C-alpha cells in the first residue's frame, strides 16, 4: 500500500475513505463505487487534446525535424512521409495549412504544408521534413531551431479556406 506521504494532490477525506476501505478488507467489495471514485481522484488528468487554431496567427517556437525512421510512414492526412518533400507536422494548425517557416537565427525560410500531427515534445511547435529543415539551416548536429511559423492558407472545417496575413496580396500594386 502506498504511504500517505506519497499521495500528492489527494484530499484528507479521500485518504480517510481509502483507509476505511483498506480496513474493511473482504467487505470492501461492497464499497466498489467508493473505491472507483478514489482511483479517479488519484489519477492525474491527461493533457487535453489541443484545439485546431483557425486564426491564421503567427507563432514562434522551436522546430525539429522528422527522424529517418518516419520516412514512408503514413501521416495524419493519409499520405506517406516524404523526407524530400515540404511536409510538416503541427499539433494545432489544421491539416492542409500552408505556412512559411523561418529560422530566426539564419533568417532562411521555406513554405510547408501541414500533413501530420506532432511534435509531441514539450515546447516544440512544428516538425519539418529533413529536406525542409536543411533548407532553413537546421542540421542533424543542431537538431532544433527557434522558428516563426506564419500561416498563408488555412483550411476551415466548412471546406472553405482562409487567407492568412502572410498570403500574397492578389491585387497588383500601382
Per residue in 119-163, pLDDT tens?
A: 999 999 999 999 999 999 999 999 999 999 999 999 999 999 999
pLDDT at 50: 77
Q: Where are the domains of the chain?
A: 6-42, 59-163
Assigned C-alpha cell, 27: 467487505
CATH number of 59-163: 2.40.40.10
DSSP character string of 84-124: TS-EEE-SSSPTT-EEEEEETTT--EEEEEEEE----STTE
DSSP code for 162:
E
pLDDT tens readout for residues 75-129: 999 999 999 999 999 999 999 999 999 999 999 999 999 999 999 999 999 999 9
The predicted model scores a pTM of 0.69
CA-closest candidate to residue 156, choices 97, 99, 100, 78: 97
pLDDT at 122: 92
Amino acid at each position: 500500500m502506498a504511504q500517505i506521504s506519497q499521495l500528492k494532490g489527494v484530499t484528507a477525506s479521500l485518504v480517510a475513505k481509502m483507509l476505511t476501505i483498506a480496513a474493511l478488507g473482504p467487505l470492501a467489495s461492497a464499497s466498489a463505487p467508493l473505491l472507483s471514485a478514489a482511483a479517479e481522484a488519484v489519477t492525474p488528468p491527461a493533457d487535453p487534446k489541443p484545439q485546431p487554431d483557425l486564426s491564421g496567427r503567427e507563432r514562434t517556437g522551436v522546430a525539429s525535424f522528422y527522424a529517418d525512421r518516419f520516412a514512408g510512414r503514413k501521416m495524419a492526412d493519409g499520405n506517406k512521409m516524404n523526407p524530400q518533400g515540404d511536409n510538416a507536422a503541427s499539433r494545432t494548425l489544421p491539416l492542409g495549412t500552408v505556412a512559411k517557416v523561418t529560422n530566426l537565427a539564419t533568417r532562411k525560410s521555406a513554405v510547408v504544408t501541414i500533413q501530420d500531427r506532432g511534435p509531441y515534445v514539450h515546447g516544440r511547435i512544428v516538425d519539418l521534413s529533413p529536406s525542409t529543415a536543411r533548407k532553413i539551416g537546421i542540421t542533424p548536429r543542431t537538431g532544433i531551431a527557434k522558428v516563426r511559423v506564419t500561416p498563408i492558407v488555412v483550411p476551415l472545417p466548412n471546406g472553405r479556406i482562409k487567407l492568412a496575413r502572410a498570403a500574397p496580396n492578389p491585387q497588383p500594386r500601382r
